[in-house]
Amino acid sequence: MKNLNKTIPLFFAALCLGATAHAEPGDKDRGEARAATCAGCHGQGGNSSIPSLYPSIAGMPAAEMEAALKAFRDGERDDPQMAPQATHLSDQDIRDLAAYYEAQERK
């Protein structure tokens, strides 16, 4: 019992450290750097020049974009062009991209 009383708080302290390291809020600047490839289809700043083929994603609410990107990445949503774009994204990449696009003005 004596050892357990020390181990349990240490275990939770380690869990908390791990959690904060991974749950950083989205960073617009990092998102912008990652968005270079997205612009090829979705347009500069997410304003598509062919919205019938490539949806405009400028100003999309961050929570909505996070859900969409995770769905493509995790195979819940499929599209031959879009799904491969999401496979290599980490949760942090997704938060960064979502923060960047949410801040763009829909034209």
Q: Which residues bind ligand HEC (CB under 6 A)?
A: 37-38, 40-42, 54-55, 57, 65, 68-69, 79, 81-82, 85, 97
Min dist. Cβ of residue 23 to ligand HEC (A): 20
Among residues 29, 36, 26, 34, the alpha carbon closest in space to that of 63 is found at 26
Helices (H), 1-107: 2-22, 28-34, 36-42, 62-73, 83-86, 91-102
Min dist. Cβ of residue 81 to ligand HEC (A): 4
Min dist. Cβ of residue 32 to ligand HEC (A): 11
Give SS3 for 47: coil
Min dist. Cβ of residue 51 to ligand HEC (A): 10
Among residues 53, 54, 69, 56, the alpha carbon closest in space to that of 105 is found at 56
The closest residue (CB) to ligand HEC is: 38
Among residues 70, 67, 61, the alpha carbon closest in space to that of 89 is found at 70
Nearer to ligand HEC, 65 or 99 (CB): 65
Nearer to ligand HEC, 18 or 61 (CB): 61
